[in-house]
């Protein structure tokens, strides 16, 4: 944090930690004594750690639609990045490792691991005692924002914060139904978007319209998909829309 402070030259540094981690709050408060850095306990909710939500929770500032945190005078770094900065600047170690949680009903021993970037996911599973039965779903990343994988024969990346393996009984495999206009996805969206509308435009390849509805403000939190009673893969549509809009902008 001292290195980041020197580089950025900011007036205030806050460390947001959800209130259900009192041991972390106590330890960081102790370590920050006399530094001017402030530990801020945060309401426990998802997605509290997302950049724009964190800025709003700590500073009360709202990043405008299509804008960057810099526009409200804020830079957000996650704890892994801060640690990587220290490793690089103090010890000259590049980003070759990260923390990764291997969990779910489909793995024999659930563990938090320190892994090398590039490690095959199968090696992580082997280290955790192997598979526990036939896996029905593999997810690289977290439960809400992770990406489904077809096999364990892929390498961990810098972003592999977790590996989730679920057996059949723990996975919702329901058929997608029609939109019943219940607006649960709208209420759930922390970015104040209309996920159902953007997804409908995306399915018709109407990306300009999806753009007009601010698809690029989607933080891919997955709350819309999670709340949809018709199991419509809304976040997948939003990701598709964002990729198509950005691709189009690159070509202009
Ligand atoms: S994933 Fe869904 S709920 Fe989350 S920001 Fe995007 S549209 Fe909103
Ligand atoms: S939550 Fe699902 S069913 Fe309800 S409005 Fe959104 S897309 Fe339609």
- Condensed to tens digits (0 to 9), the pLDDT of residues 204-235 reads 999 999 999 999 999 999 999 999 999 999 99
- Two structure tokens written together for 213: 């509805």
For residue 172, what pLDDT is reported? 80
Coil, strand or helix at 97: strand
38-42 and 147-149: which strand pairing?
unpaired
Share of the chain above pLDDT 70, in %: 100
pLDDT attached to residue 174:
85
Q: What is the mean pLDDT of residues 19-39?
A: 96
The pLDDT of 140-144, averaged and rounded, is 93
Is residue 111 very low, low, confident or very high in pLDDT (cuts 50, 70, 90)? very high
Q: Would you say the CB of residue 182 lies under 6 angstroms from ligand 2?
A: yes
Average pLDDT over residues 69-89: 95
The arithmetic mean of pLDDT across residues 118-136, rounded, is: 97
Ligand number with the minimum distance to the CA of 189: 1
Mean pLDDT in residue range 77-89: 94
Cα angle 192-76-27, degrees, rounded to a multiple of 5: 115
Closest residue to atom 3 of ligand 2, CA basis: 179
Write the DSSP symbol of residue 96. Answer: -
Q: Is the pLDDT of residue 251 over 90?
A: no
C-alpha 142/C-alpha 146 separation (Å) is 5
User: Tokens standing for 246?
Assistant: 């950005």
| pLDDT at residue 118 tops 90 | yes
Mean per-residue pLDDT, 93-122:
97
Tell me which residue has its CA closest to atom 8 in ligand 1.
189
Distance from residue 43's CA to the centre of ligand 2 (Å): 27
**Distance (Å, whole) CA 35 – CA 6:** 13
Percent of the chain with pLDDT over 90: 94
pLDDT of residue 13: 96
Q: With a cut of 80, say whether residue 164 has pLDDT above it.
A: yes
> What integer is the mean pLDDT of 28-42?
96
Sign of the CA dihedral 16, 157, 216, 191? negative
Average pLDDT score over residue span 109-113: 98
The answer to whether residue 173 scores a pLDDT higher than 90 is no
Mean pLDDT of the region 140-166: 95
Ligand 2 close to Cβ of residue 26 (< 6 A)? no
Task: Give the residue, out of 175, 180, 236, with the most ligand 2 atoms within 8 A of its beta carbon, to mutate for a pocket test.
Answer: 180
For residue 180, give the ligand 2 atom closest to its CA: 3
Q: Taking all residues of the chain, what is their mean pLDDT, rounded to a whole number?
A: 95
Kindly report the pTM of this predicted structure.
0.89
């Amino acid at each position: 944090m001292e290195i980041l402070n020197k580089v950025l030259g900011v007036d205030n540094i806050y460390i947001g930690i959800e209130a259900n981690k009192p041991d972390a709050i106590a330890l960081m408060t102790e370590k920050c004594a006399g530094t001017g850095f402030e530990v801020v306990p945060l309401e426990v909710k998802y997605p509290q750690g997302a950049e724009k939500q964190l800025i709003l929770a700590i500073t009360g500032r709202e990043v405008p639609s299509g804008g960057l945190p810099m526009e409200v005078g804020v830079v957000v770094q996650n704890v892994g990045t801060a640690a990587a900065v220290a490793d690089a600047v103090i010890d000259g170690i590049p980003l070759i490792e990260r923390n990764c949680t291997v969990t779910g009903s489909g793995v024999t021993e659930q563990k938090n691991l320190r892994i090398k970037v590039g490690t095959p996911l199968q090696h992580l599973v082997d280290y955790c005692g192997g598979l526990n039965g036939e896996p029905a779903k593999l997810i690289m990343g977290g439960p809400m924002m992770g990406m489904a994988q077809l096999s364990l024969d892929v390498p961990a990346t810098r972003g592999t914060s977790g590996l989730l393996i679920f057996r059949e009984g723990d996975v919702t495999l329901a058929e997608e139904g029609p939109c019943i206009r219940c607006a649960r996805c709208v209420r759930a969206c922390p970015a104040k978007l209309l996920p159902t509308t953007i997804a409908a435009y995306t399915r018709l390849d109407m990306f300009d319209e999806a753009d007009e509805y601010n698809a690029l403000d989607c933080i891919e939190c997955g709350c819309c998909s999670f709340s949809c009673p018709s199991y419509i893969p809304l976040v997948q549509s939003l990701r598709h829309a964002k990729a198509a809009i950005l691709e189009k902008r690159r070509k202009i």
